[in-house]
């Protein structure tokens, strides 16, 4: 039906004439001006048809549109139900939620920045340690073609160029910047079928304790010691492109001097579930451990730090960790060296 020219009435605007129309809109000319209305929805609410046959056409159009909308809605509901049923039939993958844990890292020995205040790990290794890590212990990264220390070892760059590369913020190795940035990374798989893939950290969260460990060149695994600790306040699990990491900007971070570190043997606190009597790290760069072990480590560091400028912070760190984790009593040592 051609509805152009039909007369309509509006409560506020009075009588008007339809001057334009399409399937969804009409333009009505009133004495106050032209007004637009949805068609046919405006009829009954705002507009009234003056002609009976036009009124019947409007009612028929409204019913037809409502029926079409109802059919479309029914189709959508049916499609949604089919999709939901298909999803319900699919095997559900259960994602295990990892409990928060603390973490210890195995670090290659680095004497960069060594002093009577810290073991190192804040600069490029000395020439003798570079030689040890490359030629004697044959550390994987140190022997990588991407390692600047290997370029120095092979005479491709000078010592000054190597130091400048590190001092300018360039990457030499994780260890050389560990206590500069207070950041520990999960690492990249260096061997096997997964070579080149980034490693992930699944259980570390904010307020986890991070423990950094190493051992001196030529020493055995049972002489591995703790040289720094920090409270994690930034963590990234890692993905298929980037490795996981933990770091901190918190005040709760402590370096141990070479003398202090030798008193903090890692295997006094930790043991492997298999062969708990044997201090062996074997594969992997990190180990998880629970809060009771972390509290023991912090308590012992606080004791070792007595008389030093770090004692108050060490004691505060220990008390804070116990408070946020509800620890009121400490367990006995259960590490491999204490069994």
Q: Quote the CA–CA distance of 279 and 224 in Å, as a whole number.
A: 9
Residues 113 and 130 placed together within one structural domain of the fold: no
pLDDT tens digits along 122-132: 999 999 999 99
Higher-pLDDT residue of 82 and 21 is 21
Rounded distance between C-alpha atoms, residue 217 and residue 125, angstroms: 12
Do residue 167 and residue 206 come from a single domain? Answer: no
Residue 147: name the closest of 129, 136, 134 by CA.
134
**CA torsion 216→218→221→222, rounded to 10°?**
-80
pLDDT digits (tens, 9 = 90+) for 68-92: 888 888 888 888 788 777 766 655 5
Give the per-residue pLDDT at 87: 62
The overall pTM is greater than 0.85:
no
What is the average pLDDT score of the chain?
89
Q: What is the pLDDT of residues 157-200, one digit of tens each?
A: 999 999 988 887 778 999 999 999 999 998 777 667 777 788 88
Q: Are residues 255 and 163 in the same domain?
A: no
Q: Give the pLDDT score at 217.
A: 95
Structure confidence at residue 190 (pLDDT): 66
**Does residue 33 share a domain with residue 144?**
no
| DSSP 8-state class, residue 134 | I
The parent domain of residue 11 ranges over 1-59
Distance CA 278, CA 288 (A): 17
**What residues contact residue 266 under an 8 Å CB cut-off, 6+ apart?**
104, 211, 213, 224, 225, 226, 335
Q: What is the pLDDT of residue 95?
A: 41
Taking residues 117-121, report their average pLDDT. 96
Instruction: Give the residue carrying structure tokens 């760190």.
Output: 317
Same domain for 285 and 239:
yes
Task: State the residue for tokens 């460990």.
Answer: 213
- Residue 143 included in any domain: yes
Residue 85 belongs to a domain: no
Residue 225: in which H helix or E strand, if any? strand 225-231
201 and 313 part of one domain: yes
CA–CA separation, 35 vs 50, rounded Å? Answer: 17
pLDDT above 50 for 261: yes
Q: What CATH number should be reported for the domain holding residue 39?
A: 2.30.30.140
């Amino acid at each position: 039906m051609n509805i152009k020219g039909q007369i309509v009435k509006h409560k506020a605007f009075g009588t008007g004439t339809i001057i334009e129309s399409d399937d969804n809109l009409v333009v009505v000319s009133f004495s106050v001006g032209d007004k637009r209305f949805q068609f046919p929805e405006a009829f009954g609410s705002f507009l009234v048809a003056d002609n009976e046959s036009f009124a019947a056409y409007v009612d028929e159009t409204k019913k037809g549109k409502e029926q079409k909308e109802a059919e479309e809605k029914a189709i959508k509901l049916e499609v949604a139900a089919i999709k939901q049923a298909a999803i319900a039939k699919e095997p559900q993958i259960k994602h295990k939620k990892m409990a928060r844990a603390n973490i210890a890292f195995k670090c290659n020995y680095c004497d960069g920045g060594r002093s009577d205040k810290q073991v190192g790990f804040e600069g490029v290794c000395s020439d003798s340690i570079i030689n040890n890590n490359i030629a004697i212990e044959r550390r994987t990264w140190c022997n990588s073609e991407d390692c600047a220390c290997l370029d120095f070892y092979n005479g491709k760059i000078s010592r000054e160029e190597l130091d400048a590369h590190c001092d300018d913020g360039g990457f030499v190795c994780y260890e050389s910047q560990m206590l500069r940035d207070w950041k520990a990374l999960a690492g990249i798989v260096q061997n096997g079928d997964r070579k080149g893939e980034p490693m992930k950290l699944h259980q570390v969260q904010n307020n986890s304790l991070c423990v950094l460990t190493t051992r001196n060149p030529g020493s055995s695994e049972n002489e591995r010691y703790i040289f720094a600790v920090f409270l994690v306040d930034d963590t990234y699990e890692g993905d298929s492109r980037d490795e996981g990491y933990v770091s901190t900007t918190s005040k709760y971070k402590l370096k141990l001097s070479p003398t202090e570190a030798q008193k903090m043997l890692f295997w006094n606190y930790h043991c492997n579930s298999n062969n708990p009597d044997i201090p062996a790290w074997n594969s992997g760069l990190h180990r998880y451990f629970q809060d009771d072990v972390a509290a023991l480590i912090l308590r012992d560091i606080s004791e070792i730090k007595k008389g030093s400028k770090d004692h108050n912070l060490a004691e505060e760190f220990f008390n804070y960790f116990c408070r946020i984790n509800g620890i009121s009593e400490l367990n006995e040592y259960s590490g491999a060296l204490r069994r």
